[in-house]
Amino acid sequence: MYVRDLVIFETDSLPFMKYIIFFFAIVFPLTLTAQTRVYDSIKYIEFNLAFATDTTSFESIDWEKEQLVSRFTLQGAEPLYYSIALINDTIANFSEFKNGKWQFQETLKHSGWAVRRVDENTITSEFTISDFDNDGDEDLICLVNTNMNGNMWTVIFLNDQRQHKLTRLYNLADETDIWNRPEYDAATGIINCTLDGSAYGASEESSFKLNYLTPIPLIKERQERYDPKYIEDFYYKGEKGKWKLVKHTKNR
């Protein structure tokens, strides 16, 4: 009688036990290790130091001892589960939780600027979560460098619901994945980029029409002030996915 009751209990509770195993093996670790903090409505990804530093600089981090990994969820039609592992102050590895396990996806190179903010045992990175293209799915935005002119060189990973992964947005026209202070206009579907230069540098404004994961070049205006004797202006238009120079002026 006891054995029979025990067998019935195990059989009836099997779906429940599967749920418990699924929750603790998959769901619970993802929610427990999610490390983000919101500042001014921006969601920043954080990393916890095992060996606390006594400064506010990444230069004091012992990269050989630390295993800095942050896991987070990107909300959308179907959530994406990702992790970022800081290998050192210039390299980060991206992995996706898929088919019940973490799978390495790709490496991102950045400057120390992206992990510069250290507060005791916490790094608040310049990797942020937001809906960049206003499609209802959260994307990953990585500020990889900046300078005294206020430039914000950015790598964009869009939430690709078709492939169920993050896809790096690549600028084929300029042959780079780094964007100059990109801003998305939801009303027009256009990405506007700005590069600010010093008195003896270069400045640039460009625009791209975003067609799902493909940025189509529209217009670019660039000014170069490298030589104090004159200023050069370049005007481009997008043609077949590339920039075509339509006007060039040189003024003293």
Q: What is the pLDDT of residues 43-93, one digit of tens each?
A: 999 999 998 877 777 788 889 999 999 999 999 999 999 999 999 999 999
Question: Does some domain include residue 6?
Answer: no
Per-residue tens of pLDDT for the chain, all 252 residues: 333 333 333 445 555 455 444 444 445 444 434 588 888 878 999 999 998 877 777 788 889 999 999 999 999 999 999 999 999 999 999 999 999 999 999 999 998 888 888 888 899 999 999 999 999 999 999 999 998 888 999 999 999 999 999 999 999 999 999 999 999 999 999 999 999 998 889 999 999 999 999 999 999 999 999 998 999 999 999 999 999 999 999 998
Domain count, the chain: 1
Whether 129 maps to a domain, the answer reads no
CA distance 114 to 111: 6
Does some domain include residue 77?
no
Beta bridge partners of 9: none
CA distances from 223 to 4, 142, 194, 198, 238 (A): 84, 27, 12, 11, 18
Task: Supply the range of the domain harboring residue 196.
Answer: 182-252
pTM of the model: 0.84
* Nearest CA among 223, 109, 190, 138 for reference residue 182: 190
d(C-alpha 156, C-alpha 167), whole Å: 8
Q: Write the pLDDT tens digit of every residue in 176-193.
A: 999 999 999 999 999 999
The answer to the question of residue 165 being in a domain is no
125 assigned to some structural domain: no
In a domain, 189, yes or no: yes
Q: Does residue 208 lie within any of the structural domains?
A: yes
